[in-house]
Amino acid sequence: MKIKYQDLIEQTFEFPQEEFEVHDNELYFNKIPLMDIIKQYGTPVKLTYLPKISSQIQKAKRLFNVAMAKVDYQADYKYCYCTKSSHFSFVLEEALKNKINLETSSAFDINIIDELYNSGIIGKDIFILSNGFKRTQYLENIVRLINDGFINTIPILDNMDELQYYTDNVSKNFNVGIRIASEEEPMFSFYTSRLGIRYNDIVPFYHEMIETNPKIGLKMLHFFINTGIKDTAYYWNELNKSLNVYVELKKVCPELDSFNIGGGFPIKRSLGFEYDYEYMAEEIVAQIKSVCDQHGVPEPDIFTEFGSFTVGESGATLYSVLDQKQQNDRELWNMIDSSFMTTLPDSWAINQRFILLPVNRWDAEYQRVCLGGLTCDSQDYYNDEAHTNAVFLPKFDKNDPLYLGFFHTGAYQESLGGYGGIQHCLIPAPKHIIIDLDENGDFSPKLFAKEQSYKSMLKTLGF
Ligand SMILES: Cc1ncc(COP(=O)(O)O)c(C=O)c1O
């Protein structure tokens, strides 16, 4: 009878996969023997596999450039990384090796831009797209960038009043973008996004406030669908509505030449993940071209701001199972050595699923378990996966420790979990390892941060 954990996986999915392989009952992630990492650094531990960031960027560039070539598209594709997905210096440094641009969302992001410029990683010609509803500090920082000669800084207007600050404070001609407030999916709890300017207000606003001011150029229209780029009637409908605004504006606003479709390329959250990236990129490019052709306007440069797609698949979070508790006839709790609420907050807050696999003991029999975190919060658990309403893992054995990995956890989890700050029940932030490949193609792990200390937490608490 086939009852080993490895049998379960091989019967359920195509396995091994591009980034997951098993040798001698131990898991390799992008060819990294994870047990070696655990032996060297212990658990809990977060890791970032840097080469994945570059390969994702190159993949998107290839997809859009091929899609453009297929329809003889007469403008360019521009990749922006949306910094809010992971602000870590090593992420930005890796991403920026690939000639990309950046999207910012708050005042301190501009201080990151300063750091990158001062260390020679970016030049003043990089596109900086500044989104968000902006407080004064953010507005001041954006204006400083433009006045300092970052010629491609484009504030994306989130509301009509925002423009006045730039008009009053930018000392030269400058460009802006407008974010379109998209309609939310039909089942959402409200109809229209709070972000951006309503469809019907955009053209009148342009005539009244931008066309009449020779200092301002409207360069970009931006739209972003919160639920991501999906092959649904809803997505194509929103894309089309935004394109119609684009062509209407383009007819009266010659300097408009960029259409920004925001973020939302998905990542693999289950071993059964299927998504036709090629088809989606081709369809988006073809639709943009087709609407422009129908209206006799030139195609725009297409900007994307992929966050999860850039950095999500580079990350993994490894834990040990500390013990197993049996709380009734059926429920077995594997207690992990950290907290889901603080290290993978999306799993708790929006029920986000990640790929979950054991790191060792793939030859053991499997059993159904619930996973429990260390906080006293009853919500600190993980007990289903994207493909099934249960978690199966190798049988717990007190004498043979079991290690688990959650994979593709590289986006948003640190910023949402308040990495390095106060954590629920004061469970410390785990250590963080960065893994790169050296010139021979061998992997070299480096400790980025130790496990958070009680001293740092108590200091924040005022002790
Ligand atoms: C304006 C904007 N652009 C890009 C993104 C990135 O989205 P994703 O991580 O889904 O690619 C976001 C995410 O919230 C966003 O608000």
Q: How far is CA 62 from CA 98, 139, 156, 285, in A?
A: 12, 35, 26, 13
**Collapsing DSSP states into helix, strand and coil, what is residue 248?**
helix
Residue range 75-112, pLDDT digits in tens: 999 999 999 999 999 999 999 999 999 999 999 999 99
- What's 73-306's CATH class? alpha beta
Instruction: Answer whether residue 1 shows pLDDT above 70.
Output: no
How far apart CA 174 and CA 215 sit, in angstroms, is 6
Alpha-carbon distance 25 to 402, whole Å? Answer: 12
CB 218 within 8 A of CB 183: no
- Ligand 1 pocket, residue 262 CB under 6 Å: yes
Provide the 10 A C-beta neighbour count for residue 323: 13
Q: Is 313 in the pocket of ligand 1 (CB under 6 A)?
A: no
Closest by CA to 9, choosing from 380, 277, 362, 420, is 362
Residue 433, pLDDT above cutoff 70: yes
Q: Delimit the CATH 3.20.20.10 region(s) of the chain.
A: 73-306
The span from the CA of 243 to the CA of 246, in Å, is: 5
Q: What does R_g of the chain's alpha carbons equal in angstroms?
A: 24
Percent of the chain with pLDDT over 90: 92
- 458 CA distance to ligand 1 centroid (A)? 34
Q: Reply yes or no on whether the pLDDT at 190 is more than 90.
A: no
Is the separation of the CB atoms in 131 and 179 below 8 Å?
Answer: yes
User: What are 226-267's pLDDT values in tens digits?
Assistant: 889 999 999 999 999 999 999 999 999 999 999 999 999 999
Question: Ligand 1 mean position to 450 CA, how many Å?
Answer: 29
Does ligand 1 have an atom closer than 6 angstroms to the CB of 305?
A: yes
| CA–CA distance, 89 with 95 (Å, rounded to integer) | 10
The tokens for 147 are: 């006045």
Q: In whole angstroms, give the CA distance from residue 77 to residue 58.
A: 12
Sign of the alpha-carbon torsion through 196, 200, 204, 206: positive
Model pTM?
0.96
- 413 CB near ligand 1 (under 6 Å): no
The verdict on the CB of residue 430 being under 6 Å from ligand 1 is no
CA distance linking residue 142 with residue 136, whole number of Å:
10
- DSSP H helices in 352-433: 413-417
Q: What residue spans in the chain does CATH classification 2.40.37.10 cover? A: 5-50+312-460
Banded pLDDT at 332 (limits 50, 70, 90): very high
At residue 194 the predicted structure's pLDDT band, cuts being 50, 70 and 90, is: confident
- Whether residue 49 has its Cβ less than 6 Å from ligand 1: no
Fold of 5-50+312-460: Lyase, Ornithine Decarboxylase; Chain A, domain 1 (2.40.37)
